[in-house]
């Protein structure tokens, strides 16, 4: 589908709805992560409403693309995107983290349709995604595998084992998307354990690297299309996002990494999201 101005506006509206659902479910749960999910809403919207080859009515469809969530703590945005895409009722999002709910604090593959892996321990997702991509290539199929990662989990050794494997095997059907929001639970990434020059590191492991404004839906879709045209190596999309995107008072504040809004804060956050007063990250060529 061509990305027309009308379709872009539709995607931006969907991203706003997803952000609203994230706030509502976090308030209902009284626990969970806020900053990362809000920052990744545009990317998840782009995937489930434009990029992925998938069918909510047939979650196990063999021809589907695979999306692996490595940083499982941002699952509110994945749950909200899946629900709005039709995998389960949006109302069920309000059961987040409740006893007996299918929407656990970290995704469990067998609980919900549309989940490809169980995630929680950071650093594992890229290995899982690389294995899937390798197996699909062995099978001679054309599905693509996408792996969503945090920047903080680049501090995990397992990630670099997977990066070496994918680079060695030239997994052109694998695209990793790093949420480069610069925060983690204890502070800014460059204070806790510096990552830069992160793009050069992946290039050294034989990856194609694209830097993009992750909150610009058309720019992100363009980056994915570029990745799809690279056949001789895996691609990393370094997506610069604003943590807490849409709520100016919490943007770039690492304290909101794992903190949910109160009921009153939730009301204020919803008002801001509906007018999108938040800042816009720098444009990346």
Tokens of 190: 């460059």
Q: Residue 281: its pLDDT value, please?
A: 53
CA torsion through residues 31, 32, 35, 37, sign: negative
Query: What DSSP assignment string belongs to 31-86?
Result: -S--HHHHHHHHHHHHIIIII----TT-TT-TT--EEEESSGGGHHHHHHHHHHHT
8 A C-beta contact, residue 63 and residue 168? no
- Examine residue 197 and say whether the peptide bond preceding it is cis (omega within 30 degrees of 0): yes
Q: Residue 284: its pLDDT value, please?
A: 44
Mean pLDDT, contiguous 10-residue spans, the chain (285 residues): 90 97 98 97 98 98 97 97 98 97 96 94 95 97 97 97 98 98 96 97 98 98 98 98 96 96 97 73 47
Q: Residue 120: its pLDDT value, please?
A: 82
User: How far is the CA of 233 from the CAs of 121, 127, 204, 281, in angstroms?
Assistant: 27, 16, 12, 28
Q: Residue 2: its pLDDT value, please?
A: 79
pTM for the model: 0.95
Q: Residue 285: its pLDDT value, please?
A: 40
Domains of the chain: 5-275 (3.40.50.970)
């Amino acid at each position: 589908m061509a990305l027309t101005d009308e379709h872009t506006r539709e995607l931006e509206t969907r991203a706003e709805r997803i952000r609203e659902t994230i706030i509502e479910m976090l308030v209902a749960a009284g626990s969970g992560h806020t900053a990362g999910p809000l920052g990744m809403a545009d990317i998840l919207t782009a995937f489930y409403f434009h990029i992925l080859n998938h069918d909510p009515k047939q979650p196990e469809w063999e021809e589907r693309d695979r999306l692996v969530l490595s940083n499982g703590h941002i699952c509110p945005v994945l749950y909200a995107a899946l629900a709005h895409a039709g995998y389960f009722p949006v109302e069920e999002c309000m059961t987040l983290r409740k006893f007996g709910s299918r929407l656990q604090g970290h995704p469990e593959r067998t609980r919900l349709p549309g989940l490809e892996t169980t995630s929680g321990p950071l650093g594992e997702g890229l290995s899982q995604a690389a294995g899937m991509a390798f197996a699909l290539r062995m099978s001679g199929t054309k599905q693509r595998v996408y792996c969503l990662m945090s920047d903080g989990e680049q501090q995990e050794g397992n990630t670099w084992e997977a990066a070496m494997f994918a680079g060695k095997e030239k997994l052109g059907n694998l695209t990793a998307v790093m949420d480069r929001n610069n925060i983690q639970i204890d502070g800014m990434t460059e204070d806790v354990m510096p990552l830069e020059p992160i793009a050069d590191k992946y290039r050294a492991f034989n990856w194609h690297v694209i830097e993009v404004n992750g909150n610009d839906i058309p720019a992100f879709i363009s980056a994915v299309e570029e990745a799809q045209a690279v056949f001789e190596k895996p691609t990393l999309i370094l997506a610069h996002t604003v943590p807490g995107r849409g709520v100016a008072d919490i943007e770039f504040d690492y304290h909101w990494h794992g903190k949910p809004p109160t009921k009153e804060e939730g009301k204020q956050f919803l008002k801001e999201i509906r007018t999108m007063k938040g800042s816009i990250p720098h444009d990346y060529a």
